[in-house]
Amino acid sequence: MAKNDFDELMSVGVDIGKDVFHLVGFDKEGRLVLRKKIKRMALVATFEELPHCIVGMEACLSAHFVSRTLRKMGFEPRIIPAIYVKPFNKGQKNDYNDAEAIAEAALRPNLKTVSEKTQEQLDLQALHRVRSRLVSRRTAAMNQIRAFLIEQGITVRRSVAALRASLEAILNNRGDEMSLRMRRLILGLQQDWIWLDKRIDMTTSEIKEVSETEESCQRLMTIPGIGPIISTAVVAAVGRGEAYDRGRDFAAWIGLVPRQNSTGGRTILGRITKRGSRYLRMLFVQAAQVIMMRPKNWHKFSFGAWLEAAATRMQHNKLGVALANKLARIAWSVLNSGKNFDWKEKELATAI
């Protein structure tokens, strides 16, 4: 296979697998001119024989690595969300049909693509995923301890601090109310909890170190309610937000906008879409809830007047989502402009 054989190649769709890639390519007239299955290790050698063109791939594991590799070779890689590829699928689902759909979707000029992540972004994203898994395991261990104690007729107030403070006293003073086996099980869960606390603290410290050296994180932390965890999560997910034209698009990607079911010129809005990054959506809602806990500070913020007015007409949870939406839009504006957020300055808040 030589480059001359594919001089008219316009786009190539790559269906990425664990060990095997399927390639389908179209020429300028839309004719299928390439249909090939290759091993992962043969990716570079195969594309060295192809002319530079658009290369589409679904957003998945290793898509960013493949994209960076092909970009260095002079190709134009486009990472496409799977939901946007689905309408182009024809016939039964198989790897070649998926690759063909990707190749067709990659040619659409108005199709939204995923921004390519750097290795630093992927490392930071991995830190957040590890921390999230550890927190989930710690919550599971605590809930299991509570369940076992309730089965023994012992209840603890509903908070992490209450369980942490009272568990030692329960095991020492009320050990005769449970069997020796149950006591050993609870002690084992307590050791798991302590170990998970240490791992979470180590991972959190590493994330904080990144936030102290990354300029974009420092700018994001000038926004009320946003600290090291949210700032690094945003930078890991979207970099400087180049993939979005405005803050509203970023908030929509997170899923903090109403779901539309409009027809005939009649707008019908429902609950939030909950599309995109569930993790970022959770963090922004938590940030909004922290701000809402301190109404005495609202007047300090440039969006304080809006928040005070909205609080009189919105239900509490709805207000939290609306504030989370505003924080996400401000975060994009700060990233895109390269400026800090001034709590008293309304320029950034109104620019989104």
Mean pLDDT, residues 311-318: 93
Pick from 207, 202, 344, 336: which is nearest to 283 by CA?
Answer: 207
Q: DSSP code of 16? A: -
**Bridge partners of 22?**
15, 37
pLDDT over 80 (residue 269): yes
Last residue of a domain, one of 198, 213, 228: 213
Evaluate whether residue 264 is within a structural domain. Answer: yes
- Helices in 86-227 by DSSP H: which ranges? 95-106, 119-151, 160-173, 180-213, 215-220
187 shares a domain with 77: no
- pLDDT tens, position by position, 49-98: 999 999 999 999 899 999 999 999 999 999 999 999 999 998 898 999 99
pLDDT score, position 159: 84
Evaluate whether residue 335 is within a structural domain. Answer: yes
Mean pLDDT, residues 242-256: 92
- The tokens describing 230, both together, are 């949210």
pLDDT over 90 (residue 141): yes
pLDDT over 60 (residue 285): yes
The overall average pLDDT reported for the chain is: 90
260 shares a domain with 206: no
pLDDT over 80 (residue 6): no
279 shares a domain with 255: yes
pLDDT over 80 (residue 334): yes
- The tokens describing 277, both together, are 């990054």
258 shares a domain with 153: no
Evaluate whether residue 113 is within a structural domain. Answer: no
Cα atoms in the Cβ-side hemisphere of radius 13 Å centred on 193 = 20
Tokens 């034209």: give the residue: 245
Task: For residue 152, give its domain range.
Answer: 119-213
- pLDDT tens, position by position, 88-115: 998 898 999 999 999 999 999 888 899 9
The domain that holds 76 is classified in CATH as 3.30.420.40
Last residue of a domain, one of 184, 213, 242: 213
Residue 268's CB: how many other CB atoms inside 10 A? 10
C-alpha distances out from residue 313 to 309, 318, 328, Å: 7, 10, 22
170 shares a domain with 123: yes
46 shares a domain with 146: no
Evaluate whether residue 111 is within a structural domain. Answer: no
- CB-CB contact of 320 with 289 (8 Å): yes
pLDDT over 80 (residue 280): yes
Last residue of a domain, one of 106, 135, 154: 106
pLDDT score, position 3: 53
Share of the chain above pLDDT 90, in %: 71
- pLDDT tens, position by position, 157-170: 888 889 988 998 88
Evaluate whether residue 68 is within a structural domain. Answer: yes
Tokens 């590493």: give the residue: 206
Q: How many residues does the chain have?
A: 352
| Domain count of the fold of the chain | 3
Share of the chain above pLDDT 70, in %: 95
pLDDT score, position 344: 58
- pLDDT tens, position by position, 148-198: 999 988 888 888 889 988 998 888 888 778 888 999 999 999 999 999 999
pLDDT over 50 (residue 247): yes
- pLDDT tens, position by position, 19-59: 999 999 999 888 999 999 999 999 999 999 999 999 999 99
The whole-angstrom distance between residue 254's C-alpha and the CA centroid of its chain comes to 8
